Structure formats: structure tokens, C-alpha cells
Structure 1
């Protein structure tokens, strides 16, 4: 009987792999499962040479996958695991967007010193060490919860009577066994509350449409059919291109050139974004743009000078886009400076034109549509270091768009002179329209808005699946711990991968094609992405989702360290996969043996939500609302650290920190001015308090002071001018005469006084006391308030710096069950608006309305 190489026992495949070894000691006071990226790691990398290494593993060729009308929500590629050794296979990343951000294929990763990640603050060391014990405690609690949830008493609890009619005209299902034993006992009371609340809300809505609480409807979402009837009005196409004025031209080698409108539009894409330096100064962006620009020039007849002579555009460096930029920048400025009333009128006109596209009728109910506008043509940017950045995104025509609509519904007419590519009636799809973009060949979908029933159900199912995982987590952890010593290589790799996904929140990951970047996850980790440092430290360094660098030093279980050492044995080298017997689809199929629908990404949601729920149980939030919010944010930060939720440091971070620093310096200068005013009132204070008390801080140089004063003058000018314009708009709106320019001149006289005051202070070195009836006591009170502001701003700046690599927003919105935030809000009487914006409150309406403060994850 034939057998696959995956079934070769590890003893045969790897020589001394199962030889007994002593467990190395832990590093310091950190335990396996925690990051040590800020802590000392002294040992050098392990030398991976081994005389008894198995035969060299061959790379497997990338498999191209045909595009289809596959439902965009389906996440996994179900290709079977090939019966041969391999190091790469192409399949789609279940957690990526359409525009999967990529880096150059095969590019070398930067050194840690070349990035902001892991380089600056060491402020996380205390909290990580402190949280080590807390993480172990939470994992122990998870085992207990899973054990309790599986007890017969939980599933055999007395069901809720099904004879009574429920809120939405459907029968209630028996008590949900997704909660713990404790929750089942409390269910009748909470159910009573929900029913009473629903009844009250339905009575309030008698005059209008009755609120549809789909989260209380157990029949919704069953099966694959998503809708019965669907009506909508199609999509909104961008307006046609408006040619540039005749006096605005691209210059080539100093000569203005005439272009075909299609080529001129593409030149305008680049010219209009000259202020986006990180794009237009990127050599890859320039190269890709110029390649496409030359192709379009060739197709449209090239460029000509004012006399009609042909101009051969060959060198990007000779192209001058400044005239185009200046034109578009002036247009943007003109739009910004429009009166508020005019902006309001234009917005109202646009809303009126787009109103028919903003909603659809889904099974007889009005639902908001999300992205009903077709993307306009532009230059593709991508995220991270995308190899196709700068390519031209062509204009989407109706002939490329497929409409999905009910059979009985009226098909929306395409723009005059055009027709749709196809009209479908796909009741298993939740998309309304789709087209294929030209950059990566990805399909773009028009979907319902985030606050629609369908999208809400998707979020609800996601978090319910994570709640279901809590009943199986102990068995999964027990099994992967056991299988990390399995004789079969494939089983050992599988167990190690699940450990890394569970403990360090790694994404599953899939290899990309040749025209894509090496963005990887756990299953597609390459030899060079892992460095081993004895006794049990692993350094991860790779480009993850969105081409964001994942860099972390972590303590792992001794057996995991041993396994990774085996998986890296020669003849493996750079470019070879660590988990060469494993694919994402194979891993997810393995996980589904524990629980239907379980995939690698559910662990991120479960770990974040369960951790937050445990932290909330121990929380004693008190004091003012800001203090309670801080307690919540501290818990959120702990979740982000415990669950390894990283983010890249934003391009604007340094600029924001610099602005905060300048503001703090400004407050310190104002503090000095107040002290000098005290001296103006009572010169004898110089002897009492000492000359040093009245000295200006060294970093507040005369040059900086003058710059700050100029800033204050400009700020005051803008403030007065804007107030004048706003007052005038209000007068005109009320049918009264607008004020004359002379009024503005009079108002600006205070700015002139301010300039004179600063000039006098700089000349004399003295500051005259200001305000009505100034006294030393009043000024001292003002100084005290100013010092409090300085302290608060310093704390704010420190928080911003400390959190620059911790994705608090990501945790709160995507991974922590929103019902936990609602529980905190209700339990500690903090308005939900403090945690969720208006858009998020609409998105998580189901969470806000479905739980009370006694709900448990």
C-alpha cells in the first residue's frame, strides 16, 4: 500500500529528532507565550547544520487560480493537501481585502534598526512581565469554563417554552447552550428583561415601521439562501474627465506639450498628487506610472508641442507636472474656501442625486447600501510596499459591471449608450454589483452598509463562533501540546502551527504569486522569517497583512523551540517554508474536527474577547467618567499586548509628536510670561524667589520665541477672520445686510496690538501685567492651572508614544466582542458614545440593544 511522505515517522525523517533532551530554563521571569521583544536576549542564533538532515525539500510551483463569481464572504480555499513535500502553494488569504497590500516579491526584510517597530519605547517591559502571570491565570480559567460548558447540565437545562409567540413572529429556540452553566441558570430572568424591553420598544414604534430585531430571530441566517426578493438602483459612475484649461500643460524638457484627453487625464493623476511625497518620490511608483503613461501615449498618438511637432517623451526626469499640480491645488483651495452655506447647498444637491442608490429593498425591508459608487480612475497606491504601486487604475465601464438582483425586480438601466456585462439572480450572494479591476484582477463588490441586517448578522456570527470556541479550547490546547511530540512530521507541524496561532495571534497565511509580495503568515513562514535564540526564544520578522512588518521576540514552550529547530534543519535555506507539510486549508480542516466552522482566525477573536471578559470581571472602575474610560482603555491595552495586536507606526506619528512638543513648549513660554508679569507687579519678588525662578528655559531660544509669536499672531488673525465670515453668512441667511470690510479691519486691530506687545517684550525683556485688576495671587493661580495643563499634555504625549505600536482600535472594533464594551458601559454608567462613534453605534446596534450588564461572553 502506498503512503505519502507526510506519513513518514519523525524518527526516520529526522534522525535524532526524538532523542531525549533536557528542558532549557526560561529566560528571566517570563514564561512561554509572552513577548520578550523589549527584554535582553543574549545568546546567538542557532547554527542549523545537521549531518543527519533529510533529503532536500523541493519547492512546489505556484498554482494559478481562476477568478470566479465566488461569494466574497467565503474565506477558505478547500484544495486538498498534496501528497508530496513542498515549500509553496498559491491560495488566497482568507483574511485579506481585495487590495492585498504587498511588498516586492523576494525582497529582503529590513533590519530591525531600520524600522520604528520595536526600536523605541521600553515602557512595555513592566506591563508584559506583570501580565505573564495574568495570562496564565486567564488560560487556566479558560480550561475551567470549557469544562463547565460541556457538562450535561448545560445542555439538559430546562428549555424555554416554545408555544409563546416571539418578537419577530418566530418561535423561540430552546435555551442556547453557548453560555456557561451559570448563564443558563440566569437565562429566564434575562429573557424576561429582553421581552419586556422589546414589547416597550414595539409599542413606541406603533406609528412607524416596527423595529426588526434580527438578533432575536433564530431562523435568520440559516442555510445558504441569503434573500428572497432584492431590488436596487445599480451603481453611481464617476463623472467624465474634464480637460485642463489650454494654458495648463505638462512640460517636457521645459516645453509645454499637447496630449490626447486620455493621456492628459493620466498625467493629471500624477500631477495632482505631487504633495503626496511618499508616493510620487517612490522609485517603484514613478517607474510603474511612467511605464503605463508611455503605453497610453503610444495608444493615443503621443505628445506634440504648440506647433504640432511630435515630442518624444522618453525620460521621466524631464517631465514637469508642476503646472498641473498648481491648477488642481488652486481648485482644492477654492473648494475649501467656499462659504459654509454654499458647501451645504452643494452637498444637498449631491445627496439628492445619489439618494436612489443609497438604499435597496432586501426581502421587503429598506437597507442602506455601502459603497454604491464605482471607483474613479486614478493611480493605484496599495498598502505597504506594493510592487504595482503607481500603476494606472483604468475607468470602469458599465460593460464590466455585473448586477445581482431579484428575478421579479426591475433591472436598473445602465448609462445611455452602454449595457451591463451581465445580470444575475444569485440568492446565495450578498453583493449587489461587481466588477473586476485591472491592477490585480480582483473583484470589487457593492455590498450593504455596515449597519445593515446582513452585515450585522455577519459580525454577530463571528463573535458567536468565538463564544463557541470557549467550549473546546481546553481540548484543542491539550491535543496540540501532546501532538508536538508526535512521530509523524505532518502532525508535529500541525500542532506547532496551532500553538503559534493560539499563543501569538499569528494569521494563518498563504503564499503569494510571483507578481505579489512576500506577505506571510504562520503556515507560509520562510526559513529567514524565524531566528532561534537558545534556550527558548524565537524572533519573528516578516511582512504580514497589509505589508506591515511583524517583528517580535517571544518565549516559547521548550518543545516548540525544539520543533522549529527541526523544521529549519539543513538542507533548508532562505526561501524554503518552515511548515513544508502544511497549508492553511489543511490546517483549517483539522480545526473543524473540533468545531464546525472553526478556522485559524477565530482564535484571535476568541483570545481577545475572553481576555477582555476576564479583565472586566476583576475591574472596579470608579471615579469620574474620564477615569472610568481610562480603566477601560487600560484593559483594552492589556488585551492588545496579551494577544499580540501590533500596528505599524503611522507616517504622521513623528509629526504629531512634534506638534504636541511644540504646544507644550508654548505653554512653558506662557508660564514664563506669567512669572514675568508677577515681577512687573512686585519687583522685590526677584530677591525673594531668586533670579533663576524668572529665567527662560534654555530650549526656548530667542529664535524659537519669535517663531512662536508669529504663529500666535497668525492664529489670532485666522480666528478673527473666520468669525467675521461666519457672522456675515448668518446675517445674509437671516435676510440682513452683510458687514463691510471695515468691520474686519477694526476687529483685526487687536492682532496689531498683539504684534506691538511682542515686539516690545523682545526689546525690553520685560512683560507687562495683563487682565483686569491683576494681582500676584491671581497670576499664581493662573500659573497653577497652566502647570496642570502642561502635566496633562505631557501624560497625553507619553500615552501616545507608548501606544504607537499597540492597536487599541483594532482590538476594540475587530476582535473584542462589542457586547463586552456595552456591558462595561451599562455596568459603570459610561455613555456608549465614549467608546463607539456614530458609525460604530450603527454597526453594533445589535450588540447595544441585545445585552444587559449581567451578560457574559
Structure 2
């Protein structure tokens, strides 16, 4: 197969380094068969040894530019893992270790090792990666069989069929209304009287538009020609020539909401022109964050022991830093400190600087002399007071907030009410970034209306900007799916207000992504055959491309895009791997060690085909050295152009989706779950998900609270074991002969429990009872106060607390006598025996949860489950084995993947 590019196509910047020869001679190829071990790049030359607690930085080396050009992109980025714009600010949590004035802390570095923490191998001899690699060959054979079966099925379907009379609706593009075998009904109306899932009589009554306008999209019914060709949808009623300007109402009434039918877009005919995203679009714009509230006069930033007065703009920026002193990972990071101080100084200079109480100028020169503790204490106290407010006050505040937000929550998209995802403009603050971002700590400026472009329908009412302001621009681009956009000041990137994850637009985007991955099933065998042949190509460009596709396919490496290393963290992917990122060990082991997406460390030792190993030796051949590209005759544009020749729209990214989904499909298919409990089935599913997440390198930082959570879960299990033992003692109280019948060992105390722990647990149970009683008393009094009734006296509380006192006395008696009296109404041996079995089941469930949680502590299951594994696989598993879908998808995900749940609800045998 010929090369996609000549030497002339290579980016100019590549020639600055050591460039590989344009061809590989047979002699050179043969020489690489020698097992003489070349001097490899040392392992972890930039990232430190595996398991090192030091920060994993990328060293001082800078990547050579690949002449990438930043352009404004208006396309829908729904496939991105970073789609969400506004992120909730973290709550301020007290940390006794951080009470020290920041300037006094010395020698501490940000705990970046946790950011790039590696998942430890399991207790088994073979780590999960190796286990998955051992299964991969079988999975690839299955893929080859599937590809042949699909091609055979398609060729059979293409054979001409004898002509015969065909009913008007026999070849309609309108899919089946329900389960298999149900007949299509004429005019594209299903068995429930809906056209494409939308009731015709309700299609034009969607809230929140005050003035309803019927559109072709909302009233069309699918009609078909007699010769089996689908006719274009035609409107039942033409829209009026002049459309009145419309306004989005604040909140649809309940009756309007109830009448609104679900839009089953997955059952609707495919659009001929997919580039046009909407015909009508109305929305209320964006919600700006509240204005800054100045600090009380008593709260000051302190410099070198002197409280200073600041301009309100400088004070706000000081507050950004001061409010997050507890986030040591950020505020103790030297890069974060340096960037913050540079921006803070610039704002100080622009606003007149700082003065002391007498008005004398204070020259702020050193960051180390700044003391933000008073600011932190103020915001922490304010936050604690907010949390301690009565429930009624919190409820009232939420109602007020909802009232303000409601107009922005929904838009009108082709006559349908759709939820807007991120309608809030990001508040100002300090940029944190991911991993070792070089701009962490810089000030994110407040976004003004003058920076925002609104995208809306031509006939819709343009939302008014805040008083005294105007929008940057108004446009009517119906090929774009964003409602508003602006450019942020940190990286110069564009932020978009998009529809929510539950919208039809986002659902269709997800559907297309997974369908494209499914389509790759037809071509994967040929692609693998071709790149295997090209691993020995004479052309260096062809050989590099084949090797890159091999690594992307086999090890789920990201393709790797060009970076501006001055402004972005130096992260790499397959095509941008450097000499030092790959270590070779004879005979065919390759060690990858680099910072991948979000500056998460990718470290993996893999076994590759011998030819791939030889090729990597060729690509690293002298005079190449550290800093040089391995794939110096390949970039992602060329790679994706080559892949698209197999299948329209095929890119390196599709391989990750395909491999994740196809691997998950095979793993789930091989599970033996017939006799498993629900908890065991969930764990088996999560084990499969974990293997896919490791394949895709979806790692996460071990949470600071993980150990505490595991300890708490362990205490819950021990608490249940204590409860089980008490019930066994109750059996003896009811029938002493049970000891002989069941054996003395049955009644022995669990080895996990000791006397000290039991005493502590008993105290905990008593105090827990007291707390519950007190909270119930306070809640009852609060309700009485709302109903304008006299509150209950403290005497009532003391009376209620006797229950806890009685429990303490009971435990004391049991500890002394070593006997437990049977509890409950009419206790019998059968009832207590049944209780013991229920407790044992709960213990098994919690132990499975504990093992599952500990196994997932460094693996991000959510990323693969949400973005790479076809959700229909999860739905089918759930239905097939009787596990509630709620166990796998949260409410938000059930709404996001509603299309997946509904589209396979009648097909238990659906396969990826």
C-alpha cells in the first residue's frame, strides 16, 4: 500500500530534529533481527520511577512545534470527555493541618504523584493488563469472524429479489413501532397513534413558548411512495407567512408538561441533509454569576505583618486565593503561586496598589510575605453558617434560585422543549487546569456580555443583555448546535453553551458515535490485515503509519495532537511520542512512559509483535536522541486521512470506542451469571468495566477519603457481624438445645470482633440513637413553629432520650452475663434464624461492594462507561440477567441514555 504523503508533506518543524530516512533498506531491516540489545532510553527518564511519590513533571525538554494552527470551531463537541463548561466550586472543608499561615509553609510541593498514580496489580500473579492481553487474541478472532459474517450477510442482501406486488407501506423508512413483528402503520403513525413517537395533537403545544407556532418538523407525517421509495416528510399544515416574535416563558405549567409527548428521534426517518441542525431555535440566553460582594472592613489581606487596603478588583482576586487555602495541592504548587502572584501584581498596579491603615503605600514584592488566613477564616465561617441554616431557610433560598434559573434551563428547538446543559457563564476565579498545567493559578476574568455571541433563530426574540451592556454579536447559524459562545482569557479557547446531555441532539451525537464504532466491525479485519502487511513496507512513512495504527488498535493509545508547549501541558499520544517515551527490551517488550491526556501518566509494559519491536528500533536509530519524534514521518491528519479510505469518518478515536465496546461485549458474553446474586452480577459487570477502563488507560487519583470510606465500610460489615452474633445468642435464649443441634462453633464470636471493638461499637450505637432522637425532636419543633404551635418542652426530649439510656443499660447487662435476651414481637427460633440469614446476605453484599470499591480506587469506570462503552450493552445485560438498570446508570445517565434504553427494550438479543 502506497504512502499517503511524500517527504514534502511533512511539517517544516520536523526537519529541525533528526529525521528518519525515507525508506528502510532490506539490509537495515535484516540487521534489526539481531538480538544484540541496543542502548535504550532509560525507563521513566522524565516521569520518575514507578511508584515514586515525587511530582511527575515533564522535565525541561520542550516539544518541537508541529505547526498546528488554532482555529475557532463551531462544531458540536458532544463526544468530548471535557464537554461540561461550568464546574461547581468545591466546598470549603476545614483541615487542621492548613491553619498555618501560607507564607510560613516551606519546602512543600504539590502532591502531583497522586494525579498520575498508577493502579497497583491485583493479588493475582498476573495483572489485569496482562490478563486482558491474553484474552485479546480470542477477541480479535471473534472480530474477524464477525466481519466475515457481516460482509456475507450484506452481499446476500444485495442480491436482486423477484418483483412482486408491494404494499404502500412495505418499504417505508419509518421503523417498527414497537417489538419485532409488529406491522408498520400507514402515514408513519405507530400503534399508539403517534407520528415518529409524537402525538400529532400535542406536537404544537410544547411549553415554554407563549405563542405557539406550528412548524413543518413538528407536524410532518412520514408518507411513502407505492414503489418502495420513501417520500420526504410534508407538513400537514403550512406555517403562516409572517411569524410573530416569540418569547420563552419562565416555567411551563404542569398540565403542559404532562401533555408533551416524548420525542423518539431514534424511530424517526433519517434526515437527508444532516448538516442542518434546526429550523427554529428560541432561548433566553445565559445566566451571569452574581456580582462580587466586598469583604467586611475588618477582614484584610496581610503583607509582611501589615493589614492592607486594596481596590475592590484586587480584593476579589486576593479572595480567590484566600478562600482555597485548604486546597494544598493547588495553593502550595510553585507554578500556581507564581502565576497567581504575577496576575495579582498586574491588577494591583492597574488599580493603584495597596495602602496601610494610614493611607501609606505598601509595595507588595514577595509572595511569601502574603498572609491570606483572615480571608480564609471569613469565607470558611460564612460557608459553615450557610450550612447550619434551618431547613426552611435553605428551601426558600433554593426556590428563589430556581425561580431565577428556570427561564434559562430550557430552549425551544424545532418546536420541542429541550433542556440546556450549561446555561451559566463561568464565574471568575483561579484557573486550576488538569495535571501539571503550566497556566495553573492564573486569574480567570469575569466574562462580560460584550464577549458573548448569541446563536438563535431569525424569527425568535433575541434575549436582552443585562442593563447597560450589549452582546458581542447575534447570529442565526442553523448548522451549529451551540446557543451562545465566548472566548476565555486563559488559553484563548472558546466556550459553548450547548443542549443538555438528555437532549435529542446530544443523544443523536452519541448514537452516531457508537454506530460508527459498530460499522468499524465490517472493516476491522481488512484494516488489521493491511497494517500487518505494511509493518514490513519499504517506505518509512508507510511503516510508521502501520506501526502507529497497530499501537492504537492493540493498546488503545490516543492518536496525539499537536500542542503549544508554551501554553499547554506537554501531553502526548501515539503520533507525538518522543525518543525518551519508549524503552525497548529484547526480545519484544516495549515500555511506554509518558504524560497522556489531562497529564495522567501512562506507564505500561507491553509485549508486541516482533516486527513492531524491530520497527521501533529503526525509528529510534541513531543519530536520534532525546527530544526527537519517533513517528517523524507521520501526523494525526495523515493518519486519519488514511483511515477514512476504509470507511467514511473513520479516525483513530473510533478505534478506542470500537475496542472498548467490542471488548466489553465479549467479556459480558463470556460471563457465567446464572446462579449469581444481584450483588455478584453487579460486581461481575464492574470487573468487565474495569478491564476496559484499564485498556483505555482511564485512571484517576485515589481520593483523599478513600481509606476512611473503606474503614467505614469495614465497620459496617463488622457491625453486621456483631448483629449476627447477637441473633445467634437470642437463639440460645429461646432454645438452649440449639447449641447441640448447630454445634458450638456456630455460636462463637467472629474473629474480626474483639471485646474492645464491641464496647466501642456499643457506645456508637447508643450515641447514634441519641442523635436520631435529638434531630427528630428538633424537626418536630420546627414543624410546630411553622404551624404556629407551641414548641415541645425539654422535658419531652429527656423522656424520648430514655430509649438510648435503656439501650446502654441493656448492652451493659449483656456484657456482664454473656447472654442476649430475644427481641421483637413474639420472637421464635424460625424468626431469629431467618434474621440471621438476612444479615448474612447483607454481609456478603457489603463485602462485594468493598472489594469492588477497592478495586476501582485508581480506575475511572465512569469515563469508559459513559464515553466508550455502547450503553445498549449495559441495557441488554441488565434486562437479560434481571439487574435493575438503576444499579448501573444514575438518574442523570438514564436520562442521557434514554435512547439506548428505549431502542433495545424489546430486543434482549441485541449485540454490538
Normalising by the residue count of structure 2, what TM-score does the alignment of the two structures yield?
0.76
Pick the aligned partner of 2:597 from 545, 551, 554.
545
**CA, structure 1 residues 60+254, in 2 after alignment: closer, same or farther (shift >3 Å)?**
closer
Instruction: Write the distance in 1 (CA, Å) between the matches of 2:182 and 2:909.
Output: 8
Instruction: Write the distance in 2 (CA, Å) between the matches of 1:191 and 1:604.
Output: 38
Q: Is the Cα–Cα contact under 8 Å of residues 676 and 694 in structure 1 kept in the other structure?
A: no
- 1:560 maps onto 2:612 in alignment: yes
Q: Is the Cα–Cα contact under 8 Å of residues 271 and 322 in structure 1 kept in the other structure?
A: yes
Aligned to 2:495: 444
CA shift for structure 1 position 263: 1.5
Q: Is the Cα–Cα contact under 8 Å of residues 733 and 820 in structure 2 kept in the other structure?
A: yes
Instruction: Write the distance in 2 (CA, Å) between the matches of 1:134 and 1:71.
Output: 38
Aligned to 2:29: 18
Moved more, 674-683 or 433-442: 674-683
Aligned to 2:887: 834
- 1:817 maps onto 2:870 in alignment: yes
Aligned to 1:386: 437
Instruction: Tell which has more relative contact order, 1 or 2 (C-alpha 8 A, sep 6+).
Output: 1
Pick the aligned partner of 2:69 from 55, 65, 68.
65
Aligned to 1:199: 192
Q: Is the Cα–Cα contact under 8 Å of residues 537 and 556 in structure 1 kept in the other structure?
A: yes
Per-residue displacement from partner, 1:489-523 (whole Å, max 9, x unpaired)? 11001001111111111111113212211111111
- 1:141 maps onto 2:128 in alignment: no
Pick the aligned partner of 1:605 from 657, 662, 679.
657
Q: Is the Cα–Cα contact under 8 Å of residues 686 and 852 in structure 2 kept in the other structure?
A: no
- 1:485 maps onto 2:499 in alignment: no
**CA, structure 1 residues 98+234, in 2 after alignment: closer, same or farther (shift >3 Å)?**
closer
Aligned to 2:267: 216
CA shift for structure 1 position 548: 1.2
- 1:622 maps onto 2:677 in alignment: no
**CA, structure 1 residues 139+71, in 2 after alignment: closer, same or farther (shift >3 Å)?**
same
Q: Does the residue aligned with 1:601 lie in a helix, a strand or coil?
A: helix
Q: Is the Cα–Cα contact under 8 Å of residues 505 and 645 in structure 1 kept in the other structure?
A: no
CA shift for structure 1 position 193: 11
Instruction: Write the distance in 2 (CA, Å) between the matches of 1:383 and 1:326.
Output: 27
- 1:582 maps onto 2:634 in alignment: yes
Aligned to 1:797: 850
- 1:847 maps onto 2:900 in alignment: yes
Aligned to 1:32: none
Aligned to 2:356: 305
**CA, structure 1 residues 335+96, in 2 after alignment: closer, same or farther (shift >3 Å)?**
closer
Q: Is the Cα–Cα contact under 8 Å of residues 9 and 487 in structure 1 kept in the other structure?
A: no
Q: Is the Cα–Cα contact under 8 Å of residues 112 and 118 in structure 1 kept in the other structure?
A: no
Aligned to 1:495: 546
Aligned to 1:856: 911
Aligned to 1:396: 447
**CA, structure 1 residues 368+568, in 2 after alignment: closer, same or farther (shift >3 Å)?**
same
Per-residue displacement from partner, 1:736-771 (whole Å, max 9, x unpaired)? 44434443344345556777889x799x98877566
Aligned to 2:181: 189
CA shift for structure 1 position 789: 5.3
Instruction: Write the distance in 1 (CA, Å) between the matches of 2:829 and 2:279.
Output: 77
Q: Does the residue aligned with 1:467 lie in a helix, a strand or coil?
A: helix
Normalising by the residue count of structure 1, what TM-score does the alignment of the two structures yield?
0.80
Instruction: Write the distance in 2 (CA, Å) between the matches of 1:95 and 1:488.
Output: 36
CA shift for structure 1 position 529: 1.3
Moved more, 592-601 or 771-780: 771-780
Aligned to 1:360: 411
Aligned to 2:400: 349
Superposed, 1:320-331 pairs within 5 Å as 320-331=371-382
**CA, structure 1 residues 126+321, in 2 after alignment: closer, same or farther (shift >3 Å)?**
closer
Aligned to 1:180: none
Instruction: Write the distance in 2 (CA, Å) between the matches of 1:112 and 1:298.
Output: 36
**CA, structure 1 residues 607+695, in 2 after alignment: closer, same or farther (shift >3 Å)?**
closer
CA shift for structure 1 position 545: 1.2
Q: Is the Cα–Cα contact under 8 Å of residues 229 and 362 in structure 1 kept in the other structure?
A: yes
Q: Is the Cα–Cα contact under 8 Å of residues 175 and 268 in structure 2 kept in the other structure?
A: no
Aligned length: 790
Aligned to 1:37: none
Aligned to 1:373: 424
Q: Is the Cα–Cα contact under 8 Å of residues 636 and 811 in structure 1 kept in the other structure?
A: yes
Aligned to 1:248: 299
Aligned to 2:559: 508
Per-residue displacement from partner, 1:201-258 (whole Å, max 9, x unpaired)? 6799566344322122233373322122211111000111111222222233333322
Q: Is the Cα–Cα contact under 8 Å of residues 485 and 559 in structure 1 kept in the other structure?
A: yes
Instruction: Write the distance in 2 (CA, Å) between the matches of 1:465 and 1:635.
Output: 22
Question: Any unmatched runs of 5+ in structure 1?
Answer: 25-42, 50-57, 76-93, 102-108, 176-185
CA shift for structure 1 position 650: 3.9
Q: Is the Cα–Cα contact under 8 Å of residues 77 and 83 in structure 2 kept in the other structure?
A: no
**CA, structure 1 residues 742+259, in 2 after alignment: closer, same or farther (shift >3 Å)?**
farther
Pick the aligned partner of 1:154 from 154, 157, 161.
157
Q: Does the residue aligned with 1:445 lie in a helix, a strand or coil?
A: strand
Question: Any unmatched runs of 5+ in structure 2?
Answer: 11-18, 43-61, 88-109, 203-258
Per-residue displacement from partner, 1:638-691 (whole Å, max 9, x unpaired)? 4445565544544443443344345556667778999999999999x99x9999
Q: Is the Cα–Cα contact under 8 Å of residues 340 and 430 in structure 2 kept in the other structure?
A: yes
Instruction: Write the distance in 1 (CA, Å) between the matches of 2:151 and 2:387.
Output: 61
Pick the aligned partner of 2:311 from 250, 260, 281.
260
Per-residue displacement from partner, 1:18-48 (whole Å, max 9, x unpaired)? 2177699xxxxxxxxxxxxxxxxxx998547
Q: Does the residue aligned with 2:526 lie in a helix, a strand or coil?
A: helix
Moved more, 367-376 or 245-254: 245-254
Instruction: Write the distance in 1 (CA, Å) between the matches of 2:280 and 2:358.
Output: 61
Instruction: Write the distance in 1 (CA, Å) between the matches of 2:288 and 2:115.
Output: 43
Q: Is the Cα–Cα contact under 8 Å of residues 249 and 324 in structure 1 kept in the other structure?
A: yes
Aligned to 1:105: none
Instruction: Write the distance in 2 (CA, Å) between the matches of 1:155 and 1:653.
Output: 57
Q: CA RMSD in A?
A: 4.6
CA shift for structure 1 position 427: 1.7
Aligned to 2:106: none
CA shift for structure 1 position 734: 5.5
CA shift for structure 1 position 448: 0.5
